[in-house]
């Protein structure tokens, strides 16, 4: 059975291996939306709104170029045209009563149960946004698992420079997800991160049970947790600070210093 729009309950894990070891994990609630279902979901689920304010809201302007253009259409500008047998899933956290911060969103292009391509949409705390378009996926020996690699081209953490490569792992099951992003330098893994969870139908009772009753396990609490971990890295672990470089890559879609200018899609 193919993965459908669901709410996921699981955890987010971050492990820094060097130069100072530092690890944490939190309970985590996130969502997987079939982009073709957004309009219908907004009509059938009273707690969810697509481009209209509800307890949970998904806005087109919160993704990719930040324009009032359907997310599905924005995705299609990066990937080959969507065929009738294909679909696009968005792994994200919607706005909770108007607020959310997603360090990373994943746009998954599938045909049946096969993962064809992924757009990893990264937001840093400086107000910039960058995308990694992964169209060359390698199927793993592990069932329903794909991997990809690409150079790091975007400043995320002030405790990391711009050197290294990302190694992605995507395990997509009918009722579970595991999405990992590891940073490698000179062949050595220096940071491991992933989110994983078990899916539940996007119904009112499931939203209340898995999201509204756990407000601090969602994107609502991403920023306070990021700041808390940064304080530990700076004051306790004494890690070096790297200044934010001016974005220069064409796949940096939003630059905080030139917010009115969007970068070309390549």
DSSP 207: H
Question: Starting from the edge strand earliest in sequence, which strands make up the sheet with 138-139, in order?
Answer: 138-139, 145-151, 165-172, 176-185, 188-201, 6-16, 22-34, 86-92, 104-111, 114-123, 129-134, 252-254
- Residue 160 CA neighbour count, 13 Å, CB half: 21
Query: Using omega within 30 degrees of 0 as the cis cutoff, is the peptide bond preceding 112 cis?
Result: no
Amino acid 165: pLDDT? 98
Closest listed residue to residue 10, CA positions, set 167, 169, 146, 178: 178
* Beta-bridge partner residues of 31: 7, 92
Amino acid 141: pLDDT? 92
Can you read off the two tokens belonging to residue 32?
């997987």
Name residue, tokens 């939306």: 33
pLDDT mean by block of 10 residues, the chain; 266 residues: 82 90 91 95 93 95 95 95 94 92 96 96 95 97 96 93 96 95 96 96 89 77 79 83 90 84 40
Amino acid 77: pLDDT? 93
User: What is the pTM assigned to this prediction?
Assistant: 0.92
Spatial separation of the C-alpha atoms in residues 252 and 245, rounded to whole Å: 12
Residues 6+ apart with CB under 8 A from 16: 22, 23, 190, 191, 233
Q: What is the DSSP string of 26-37?
A: EEEEEEEEEGGG
Residues 6+ apart with CB under 8 A from 179: 91, 106, 168, 169, 170, 171, 194, 195, 196
Amino acid 265: pLDDT? 38
Amino acid 52: pLDDT? 95
Amino acid 221: pLDDT? 66
């Amino acid at each position: 059975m193919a993965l459908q729009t669901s709410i996921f309950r699981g955890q987010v894990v971050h492990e820094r291996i060097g130069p100072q070891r530092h690890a944490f994990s939190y309970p985590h609630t996130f969502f997987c939306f079939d982009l073709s279902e957004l309009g219908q979901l907004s009509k059938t689920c009273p707690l969810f709104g697509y481009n209209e304010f509800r307890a949970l809201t998904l806005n087109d302007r919160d993704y990719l170029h930040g324009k009032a253009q359907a997310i599905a259409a924005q995705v299609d500008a990066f990937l080959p045209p969507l065929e009738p047998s294909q679909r696009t899933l968005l792994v994200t956290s919607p706005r909770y009563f108007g607020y959310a911060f997603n360090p990373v969103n994943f746009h998954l292009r599938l045909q049946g149960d096969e993962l064809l391509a992924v757009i990893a949409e990264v937001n840093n705390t400086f107000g910039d946004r960058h995308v990694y378009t992964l169209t060359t996926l390698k199927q793993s020996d592990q069932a329903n698992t794909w991997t990809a690699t690409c150079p790091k081209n975007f400043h995320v953490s002030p405790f990391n420079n711009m050197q290294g490569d990302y190694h992605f792992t995507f395990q997509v099951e009918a009722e579970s997800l595991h999405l990992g992003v590891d940073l490698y330098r000179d062949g050595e893994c220096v940071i491991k991160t992933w989110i994983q969870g078990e899916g539940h139908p996007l119904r009112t009772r499931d939203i209340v049970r898995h999201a509204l009753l756990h407000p601090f396990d969602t994107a609502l609490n991403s920023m306070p947790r990021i700041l808390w971990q940064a304080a530990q890295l700076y004051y306790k672990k004494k890690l070096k600070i790297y200044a934010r470089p001016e974005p220069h890559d064409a796949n940096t879609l939003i630059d905080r210093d030139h917010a009115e200018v969007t970068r070309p899609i390549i």
